[in-house]
C-alpha cells in the first residue's frame, strides 16, 4: 500500500475570498467553478488543495467552499455551497454514498463496470472514479486533491467494497513542471492499494465480458459513457456488416457481435488497442473469424476501405474530442464533416449510422445541424432514428458537464 504519510497535509488556515456579482449568482445557482478573474479579493495566497471559503459581498455570509488551485484558471473548485460543512473524510464518505445510490439501477449480476464518480456532478471536482468489478481507477485532473487523498481513501474504504485502487493522472499532472513523482511519489498508473495483475482488470457490462488496461489505457482503460449506445448497436446489428471506426478495445464491436452481426471491421490507430479488441472478442466466445482489424489513421483507413469497394450495413463513428478549446472549433467541424462524408460513402442503401461526439464545445444542436448539413452536401438524405446523450452514471449537474451526444440515423438513397 502507498505511504500516504509522504503527502502534504491540508493547510490549517483557510483562504477567505470574495467574488464578482456574476460569480456570486452562478454559485447560488449551483455552478461549481470560480475563475481566477472572478475573484475580487482573497485573504492570502495559497497552495494547491488549500480550502477557499467564499463569502458574499453584502453581508459576509457563507456562499461556498472549495479547493484552491493556483495553477488553473478555474481557481476555486467548489465542494460545498449554501450551507457550511467541514471538508473531511466524513464529508467525502457522504458524497460517495450519494454517488453509489444514484447508480444502483445499473449495478447487478450483468453489470459491474461503470463510472462511480463523475467529477463535479457528484461533488468531486476535477476527479473521476471508474469501477472495474473489484478494482477502482481514480483519475485526478488537479493537484488540489493531493493533500486530501488520505481522507478520500479512508472514505472509499468505509463506503465502497473494492480490492484494488489505481491512480491515473491527467496529462497536465504528468508534466515535468509539477514533478509529482519526485515530490510525492505519485505517478500515472500507480497501484495505491491492493494488486492489479499486469495492470489489467476484468468486468462485465450488460452481460458481456471485457478486460481493460486500467494502468496504461486511455482515460482509465475503458469508455463507460457509451454503454447505452453500445446496447442500442447490439439491438440493430443482426445480419449486418459492421464498421467500427475509432474502435479502441472493441466495446461497440463486441456488442455488434452479441447482436448477431454478420461481420465486423474494426479500425483504430492503436495496434495494442486492437489486440485488446481481439481479446475481448475471445473472452465472450465469439467467432474471431468474423472480425477483421485495420490499424491506422481513421481517415486513411476509411479511404482504403472505399478503394476496396467495401460497404457496410451499420457504421459506428465514435471519434475523440476534436474541440478541446474554442480555438479548435473550426478544425473540429471540418473533421466531423470529413468523417461523415467518408462514412456515408461506405454505407449500404438503408444502412444505419451511429455518429457520436464527445466534444463539450460542440452542443447537441450544433452537432445535429452539422450531421444533417453534411449529409445534404454529400447528396444523401438521413432519417434520424434517435438522438442520445449521457447515461445514468454520467449525470449532468451543470452545463459544462454535458459533452456526449450521438445520432442514430438511416441512410436514404
Q: Specify whether domain 223-412 bears CATH 3.40.50.150.
A: yes
pLDDT, residue 321, reads 82
5-15 pLDDT, tens digit each: 889 998 999 99
Is the pLDDT at 262 greater than 70, yes or no?
Answer: yes
Residue 327's pLDDT band, with cuts at 50, 70 and 90, is low
Predicted structure pTM score = 0.95
Q: Average model confidence (pLDDT) for the chain? A: 95
User: What pLDDT is stored for residue 263 in this prediction?
Assistant: 98
What CATH number does the domain located at 89-201 have? 3.30.750.80
In this structure, of 83-97, 229-243, 352-366, the range with the lowest mean pLDDT score is: 352-366
pLDDT at 323 exceeding the cut of 80? no
**What fold, for 9-81?**
2.30.130
pLDDT in tens, 343-355: 999 999 999 999 9
What is the share, in percent, of the chain residues with pLDDT greater than 90? 88
3-state SS, the chain, equals CCCHHHCCCCCCCCEEEEECHHHHHHHHCCCCEEEHHHEEEECCCCCCCCEEEEECCCCCCEEEEEEECCCCCEEEEEEEECCCCCCCHHHHHHHHHHHHHHCCCCCCCCCCEEEEEEHHHHCCCCEEEEEECCEEEEEECCHHHHHHHHHHHHHHHHHCCCCEEEEEECCCCCCCCCCHHHHHCCCCCEEEECCCHHHEEEEEECCEEEEEECCCCCCCCCCHHHHHHHHHHHHHCCCCEEEEECCCCCHHHHHHHHCCCCEEEEEECCHHHHHHHHHHHHHCCCCHHHEEEEECCHHHHHHHHHHCCCCEEEEEECCCCCCCCHHHHHHHHHHHHHHHHHHHHHEEEEEEEEEEECCCCCCHHHHHHHHHHHHHHCCCEEEEEEEECCCCCCCCCCHHHCCCEEEEEEEEC
- For the chain, the domains span 9-81, 89-201, 223-412
| Over residues 383-390, mean pLDDT | 96
pLDDT band at 326 (very low <50, low <70, confident <90, very high): low
Q: State the average pLDDT over residues 331-339.
A: 87
Amino acid at each position: 500500500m502507498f505511504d500516504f504519510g509522504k503527502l502534504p497535509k491540508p493547510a490549517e488556515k483557510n483562504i477567505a475570498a470574495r467574488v464578482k456579482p456574476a460569480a456570486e449568482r452562478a454559485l447560488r445557482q449551483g455552478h461549481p467553478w470560480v475563475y481566477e478573474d472572478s475573484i475580487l479579493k482573497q485573504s492570502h495566497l495559497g497552495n494547491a488543495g488549500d480550502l477557499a471559503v467564499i463569502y458574499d459581498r453584502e453581508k459576509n455570509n457563507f456562499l461556498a467552499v472549495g479547493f484552491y488551485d493556483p495553477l488553473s484558471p478555474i481557481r476555486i473548485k467548489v465542494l460545498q455551497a449554501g450551507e457550511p460543512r467541514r471538508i473531511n473524510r466524513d464529508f467525502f464518505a457522504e458524497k460517495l454514498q450519494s454517488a453509489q445510490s444514484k447508480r444502483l439501477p445499473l449495478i447487478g449480476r450483468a453489470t459491474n463496470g461503470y463510472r462511480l464518480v463523475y467529477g463535479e456532478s457528484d461533488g468531486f471536482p476535477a476527479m473521476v472514479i471508474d469501477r472495474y468489478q473489484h478494482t477502482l481507477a481514480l483519475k485526478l485532473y488537479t493537484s488540489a486533491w493531493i493533500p486530501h487523498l488520505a481522507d478520500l481513501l479512508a472514505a472509499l474504504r468505509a463506503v465502497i467494497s473494492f480490492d484494488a485502487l489505481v491512480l491515473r493522472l491527467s496529462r497536465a499532472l504528468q508534466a515535468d513542471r509539477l514533478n509529482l513523482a519526485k515530490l510525492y511519489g505519485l505517478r500515472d498508473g500507480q497501484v495505491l492499494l491492493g494488486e492489479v495483475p499486469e495492470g489489467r482488470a476484468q468486468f462485465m457490462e450488460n452481460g458481456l465480458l471485457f478486460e481493460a488496461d486500467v494502468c496504461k489505457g486511455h482515460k482509465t482503460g475503458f469508455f463507460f459513457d457509451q454503454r447505452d449506445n453500445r446496447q442500442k448497436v447490439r439491438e440493430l446489428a443482426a445480419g449486418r456488416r459492421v464498421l467500427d471506426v475509432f474502435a479502441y478495445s472493441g466495446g461497440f464491436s463486441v456488442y455488434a457481435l452479441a447482436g448477431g452481426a454478420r461481420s465486423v471491421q474494426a479500425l483504430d490507430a492503436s495496434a495494442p488497442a486492437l489486440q485488446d479488441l481481439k481479446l475481448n472478442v475471445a473472452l465472450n466466445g465469439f467467432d474471431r473469424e468474423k472480425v477483421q482489424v485495420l490499424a491506422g489513421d481513421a481517415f486513411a483507413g476509411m479511404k482504403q476501405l472505399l478503394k476496396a469497394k467495401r460497404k457496410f450495413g451499420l457504421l459506428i463513428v465514435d471519434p475523440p474530442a476534436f474541440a478541446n478549446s474554442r480555438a479548435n472549433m473550426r478544425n473540429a467541424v471540418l473533421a466531423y464533416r470529413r468523417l461523415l462524408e467518408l462514412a456515408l460513402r461506405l454505407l449500404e442503401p438503408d444502412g444505419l449510422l451511429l455518429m457520436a461526439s464527445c466534444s463539450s464545445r460542440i452542443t447537441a444542436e450544433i452537432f445535429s445541424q452539422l450531421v444533417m448539413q453534411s449529409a445534404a452536401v454529400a447528396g444523401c438524405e438521413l432519417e434520424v432514428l434517435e438522438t442520445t446523450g449521457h447515461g445514468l452514471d454520467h449525470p449532468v449537474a451543470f452545463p459544462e458537464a454535458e459533452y456526449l451526444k450521438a445520432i442514430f440515423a438511416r441512410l436514404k438513397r
